Amino acid sequence: MARMCCSNEMQGSTRRIVGTYGYMAPEYAMEGIFSTKSDVFSFGVLLLEIVSGLRNSGFHRRENSLSLLGYAWNLWKEERWFQLVDQSFVNNCPMKEVRRCIHVALMCIQENATDRPTMSEVVAILGGDSMNLPDPKQPAFFTVRVSVGNDINSDLNKSCSVNMVTNSIPNGR
Protein backbone atom coordinates (compact mmCIF):
# COMPACT_ATOMS: atom_id res chain seq x y z
CA MET A 1 0.00 0.00 0.00
CA ALA A 2 2.77 2.45 0.88
CA ARG A 3 4.19 2.06 -2.64
CA MET A 4 0.96 3.56 -4.02
CA CYS A 5 1.96 6.95 -2.59
CA CYS A 6 4.49 8.99 -4.44
CA SER A 7 7.56 9.75 -2.33
CA ASN A 8 6.54 13.37 -1.77
CA GLU A 9 2.87 12.66 -1.01
CA MET A 10 1.59 11.98 2.49
CA GLN A 11 -1.69 10.36 1.42
CA GLY A 12 -3.74 9.46 -1.62
CA SER A 13 -7.22 8.48 -2.65
CA THR A 14 -8.71 5.82 -4.87
CA ARG A 15 -12.13 4.67 -6.05
CA ARG A 16 -11.07 1.05 -6.42
CA ILE A 17 -10.59 -0.60 -3.04
CA VAL A 18 -8.41 -3.71 -3.13
CA GLY A 19 -7.08 -5.76 -0.24
CA THR A 20 -8.21 -8.10 2.47
CA TYR A 21 -10.96 -6.87 4.77
CA GLY A 22 -9.88 -7.15 8.37
CA TYR A 23 -6.43 -5.82 7.50
CA MET A 24 -7.48 -2.63 5.72
CA ALA A 25 -7.42 0.64 7.60
CA PRO A 26 -10.92 2.08 8.08
CA GLU A 27 -10.20 5.25 6.11
CA TYR A 28 -9.15 3.11 3.15
CA ALA A 29 -11.90 0.49 3.40
CA MET A 30 -14.69 3.07 3.72
CA GLU A 31 -13.42 6.13 1.87
CA GLY A 32 -10.56 4.97 -0.36
CA ILE A 33 -8.07 7.21 1.47
CA PHE A 34 -4.67 5.63 1.97
CA SER A 35 -1.35 6.66 3.45
CA THR A 36 1.64 5.08 5.14
CA LYS A 37 -0.57 4.92 8.25
CA SER A 38 -2.75 2.42 6.35
CA ASP A 39 0.19 0.01 6.41
CA VAL A 40 0.67 0.71 10.12
CA PHE A 41 -2.93 -0.41 10.72
CA SER A 42 -2.34 -3.65 8.81
CA PHE A 43 0.85 -4.26 10.77
CA GLY A 44 -1.04 -3.83 14.04
CA VAL A 45 -3.62 -6.43 13.00
CA LEU A 46 -0.84 -8.82 11.99
CA LEU A 47 0.98 -8.27 15.29
CA LEU A 48 -2.20 -9.08 17.25
CA GLU A 49 -2.62 -12.25 15.20
CA ILE A 50 0.94 -13.34 15.94
CA VAL A 51 0.70 -12.68 19.68
CA SER A 52 -2.73 -14.31 20.04
CA GLY A 53 -2.33 -17.16 17.57
CA LEU A 54 -5.77 -16.18 16.24
CA ARG A 55 -6.78 -14.88 12.82
CA ASN A 56 -8.68 -11.63 12.52
CA SER A 57 -10.64 -12.85 9.52
CA GLY A 58 -13.26 -15.24 10.77
CA PHE A 59 -12.71 -14.34 14.44
CA HIS A 60 -15.93 -13.72 16.29
CA ARG A 61 -16.59 -13.91 20.01
CA ARG A 62 -20.27 -14.81 19.95
CA GLU A 63 -20.95 -13.88 23.58
CA ASN A 64 -20.15 -10.22 22.97
CA SER A 65 -19.98 -9.78 19.17
CA LEU A 66 -16.35 -8.70 19.12
CA SER A 67 -13.74 -8.85 16.39
CA LEU A 68 -10.20 -9.84 17.33
CA LEU A 69 -9.44 -6.12 17.57
CA GLY A 70 -12.35 -5.51 19.94
CA TYR A 71 -11.52 -8.60 21.97
CA ALA A 72 -7.90 -7.47 22.39
CA TRP A 73 -9.04 -3.95 23.27
CA ASN A 74 -11.41 -5.18 25.99
CA LEU A 75 -8.77 -7.43 27.52
CA TRP A 76 -6.30 -4.52 27.49
CA LYS A 77 -8.75 -2.11 29.14
CA GLU A 78 -9.56 -4.69 31.82
CA GLU A 79 -5.82 -5.33 32.36
CA ARG A 80 -6.30 -8.95 31.31
CA TRP A 81 -4.08 -8.68 28.21
CA PHE A 82 -2.28 -11.90 29.19
CA GLN A 83 -5.46 -13.84 28.30
CA LEU A 84 -4.89 -12.86 24.67
CA VAL A 85 -1.41 -14.41 24.52
CA ASP A 86 -0.95 -17.67 22.61
CA GLN A 87 0.17 -20.42 24.99
CA SER A 88 3.30 -21.08 22.93
CA PHE A 89 4.62 -17.66 24.06
CA VAL A 90 3.83 -18.04 27.75
CA ASN A 91 6.92 -19.99 28.81
CA ASN A 92 9.14 -19.05 25.86
CA CYS A 93 9.06 -15.24 25.83
CA PRO A 94 9.38 -12.52 28.44
CA MET A 95 5.83 -11.38 29.16
CA LYS A 96 7.05 -7.77 29.41
CA GLU A 97 7.99 -7.93 25.70
CA VAL A 98 4.73 -9.64 24.75
CA ARG A 99 2.80 -6.92 26.60
CA ARG A 100 4.78 -4.28 24.68
CA CYS A 101 3.84 -6.00 21.40
CA ILE A 102 0.15 -5.90 22.34
CA HIS A 103 0.47 -2.25 23.36
CA VAL A 104 2.13 -1.37 20.03
CA ALA A 105 -0.46 -3.37 18.09
CA LEU A 106 -3.28 -1.46 19.80
CA MET A 107 -1.54 1.84 19.01
CA CYS A 108 -1.32 0.77 15.35
CA ILE A 109 -5.02 -0.11 15.00
CA GLN A 110 -6.42 3.11 16.43
CA GLU A 111 -9.36 4.40 14.44
CA ASN A 112 -7.89 7.80 13.63
CA ALA A 113 -4.86 7.53 11.34
CA THR A 114 -3.19 10.56 12.93
CA ASP A 115 -3.20 8.76 16.30
CA ARG A 116 -1.24 5.80 14.90
CA PRO A 117 2.56 5.77 15.14
CA THR A 118 4.74 5.73 12.04
CA MET A 119 6.54 2.49 11.19
CA SER A 120 9.81 4.17 12.21
CA GLU A 121 8.32 4.83 15.63
CA VAL A 122 7.06 1.24 15.82
CA VAL A 123 10.56 -0.07 15.08
CA ALA A 124 12.05 2.22 17.73
CA ILE A 125 9.45 1.18 20.32
CA LEU A 126 9.84 -2.53 19.66
CA GLY A 127 13.63 -2.30 19.64
CA GLY A 128 13.93 0.01 22.65
CA ASP A 129 14.36 -0.95 26.26
CA SER A 130 12.03 1.40 28.04
CA MET A 131 9.79 4.05 26.61
CA ASN A 132 6.70 5.55 28.12
CA LEU A 133 4.04 4.70 25.58
CA PRO A 134 0.82 6.65 25.25
CA ASP A 135 -2.36 4.81 26.11
CA PRO A 136 -3.98 3.48 22.95
CA LYS A 137 -7.40 4.73 21.96
CA GLN A 138 -10.32 2.55 20.91
CA PRO A 139 -9.48 0.61 17.75
CA ALA A 140 -11.25 0.81 14.44
CA PHE A 141 -13.88 -1.83 13.69
CA PHE A 142 -14.59 -2.28 17.39
CA THR A 143 -18.07 -3.75 17.68
CA VAL A 144 -20.39 -3.95 20.61
CA ARG A 145 -23.33 -6.16 21.39
CA VAL A 146 -26.60 -4.98 19.92
CA SER A 147 -29.78 -6.24 21.53
CA VAL A 148 -32.95 -5.93 19.46
CA GLY A 149 -35.27 -7.85 21.75
CA ASN A 150 -35.66 -10.90 23.91
CA ASP A 151 -37.79 -12.91 21.49
CA ILE A 152 -35.55 -14.92 19.13
CA ASN A 153 -38.20 -14.85 16.37
CA SER A 154 -38.39 -11.06 16.44
CA ASP A 155 -34.60 -10.96 15.92
CA LEU A 156 -34.85 -13.05 12.76
CA ASN A 157 -36.87 -10.36 10.98
CA LYS A 158 -34.50 -7.54 11.87
CA SER A 159 -31.21 -6.47 10.36
CA CYS A 160 -28.34 -5.06 12.35
CA SER A 161 -25.71 -2.59 11.13
CA VAL A 162 -22.41 -1.99 12.90
CA ASN A 163 -19.40 -0.27 11.28
CA MET A 164 -21.14 0.15 7.92
CA VAL A 165 -21.73 -3.60 7.46
CA THR A 166 -25.29 -4.94 7.29
CA ASN A 167 -26.22 -8.53 8.05
CA SER A 168 -29.75 -9.75 7.40
CA ILE A 169 -31.29 -13.13 8.11
CA PRO A 170 -34.04 -13.92 5.58
CA ASN A 171 -37.00 -16.10 6.56
CA GLY A 172 -37.89 -19.07 4.36
CA ARG A 173 -41.42 -19.60 3.11
Tens of pLDDT along 79-116? 999 999 999 888 898 999 999 999 999 999 998 989 99
- How many angstroms separate the CA atoms of 13 and 6, rounded? 12
Structural domain contains residue 127: yes
Instruction: State how many domains the chain has.
Output: 1
Tens of pLDDT along 12-34? 555 555 566 677 787 776 777 77
Structural domain contains residue 47: yes
Dmax over Cα atoms in the chain, in whole Å? 63
- How many angstroms separate the CA atoms of 61 and 63, rounded? 6
* Closest listed residue to residue 105, CA positions, set 129, 88, 84: 84
Instruction: Say what the pTM is.
Output: 0.70
- How many angstroms separate the CA atoms of 129 and 134, rounded? 16
Range of the domain at 108: 2-142
Are 115 and 135 within 8 A, CB to CB?
no
Q: What is the CATH number of the domain that holds 63?
A: 1.10.510.10
